[in-house]
Amino acid sequence: MNSLDQLRSYSAIVADTAEFLQLPRLQPRDATTNPSLVLRALRQPEYAALVAAPDVRDAARHDLDEAADRLLVRFGCEILERIPGRVSTEVDARLSHDACASERRARRLIELYEAAGVPRSRVLIKLASTWAGIDCARRLRDDGIACNMTLLFSFTQARAAAAAGVQLISPFVGRITDWARQQAGAAWDADAMRGENDPGVKALLRIWRFYKSRGIATEVMGASFRDTAQLAALAGCDLLTVSPALLDALRADHTPLPRRLDPAHAGQPEDDAPLAVDEATFTAALAADAMASSKLDEGIAAFSADGHALLELLRA
């Protein structure tokens, strides 16, 4: 059995791509998209035609934001035709600190999916893990709309998301490790920082153990992986969203890949922190965490820039 099939037996595999023509080969259960992935797909000729879809083209004449949402949903519908599970579609990252505006855009995405015959049970709305994003997810949850909290880097963000009853969180394993590597500079020991010693892996494990030991229903999906070693260290996490390149690398590898995480043996969490987090505590904790605050801001800025590039493509 190759490493991908082994990993698939422990964790739900999610393809981190908007390139839906790759999905039959990859055979994931779910898929995640974001503005960067959609923009990357649109730069390839086999996907560029989606911009010219009549509803997208017509919307672009009067409202570029609506055209972008229609385009995202078109990608989502194509993806859902090729997978058995759910697709994650992201709300405009420029709204990450505006709960009301994010909620309006999220509801429009759901309306567009439902108009296309897709039930809301097959869609996860992606929101940045800001206080506003988590508050928006709480409001949407009350109306049966499930959310995927993205750009999550800290234990405090994970606690707040769980307290809000969100469906799923996506700790960004690779970007956490990127930060630690950058801070260490020449002192970084790549061999020593592998497996459970990897900073991104350690951050996810802290969250996962806290959730499982308390019976928290929110799903944990590892994201932003840099290599297969990070994936192997998290075999058994609820879900893992993985790029096509790493999925192909796992398929080509036949090294034994044992299960590392088992909810039945989660053990005790590292601390007994309360689940509830108020806005002041959340804001102070994030401000005190240089890695989480900088990576959150950086991620919002990058997704916003690619969202703007998508709007310019639609304008053209």
Q: How many other β-carbons are positioned within 10 Å of the β-carbon of residue 7?
A: 24
For residue 134, the enclosing domain spans: 3-315
Pairing of strands 12-16, 239-242: parallel
Token digits for 280?
Answer: 């002041």
- What is the CATH number for 66? 3.20.20.70
> Do 149 and 32 form a contact (C-beta atoms < 8 A)?
no
Q: Which of 126, 202, 212, 295 is catalytic?
A: 126
Q: Which of 230, 181, 221, 237 is nearest to 201 (CA)?
A: 230
Alpha helix (H) residue ranges in 142-255: 155-163, 173-184, 199-214, 228-233, 244-252
pLDDT at 274: 81
- The model's pTM is 0.96
pLDDT at 123: 98
Residue-wise pLDDT for 184-221, tens only, equals 999 999 999 999 999 999 999 999 999 999 999 999 99
pLDDT at 306: 97
Q: What burial class does residue 303 get, using C-beta atoms within 10 Å of its C-beta: 0-12 exposed, 13-18 middle, 19+ buried?
A: buried
153: helix, strand or coil: coil
Q: Which of 121, 294, 151, 130 is nearest to 221 (CA)?
A: 151
Token digits for 224?
Answer: 């932003």
- For the chain, the farthest-separated pair of C-alpha atoms sits apart, in whole angstroms, at 56
Q: Which of 294, 48, 39, 63 is nearest to 182 (CA)?
A: 294
Residues lower than pLDDT 70 in the chain: 269-270
Pairing of strands 168-171, 239-242: unpaired
Q: Which of 15, 10, 75, 11 is nearest to 241 (CA)?
A: 15
> Do 310 and 68 form a contact (C-beta atoms < 8 A)?
yes
d(CA 244, CA 14): 10
Active site residue 202: no
The count of structural domains within the chain is 1
pLDDT at 181: 97
Q: Which of 9, 292, 2 is nearest to 154 (CA)?
A: 292
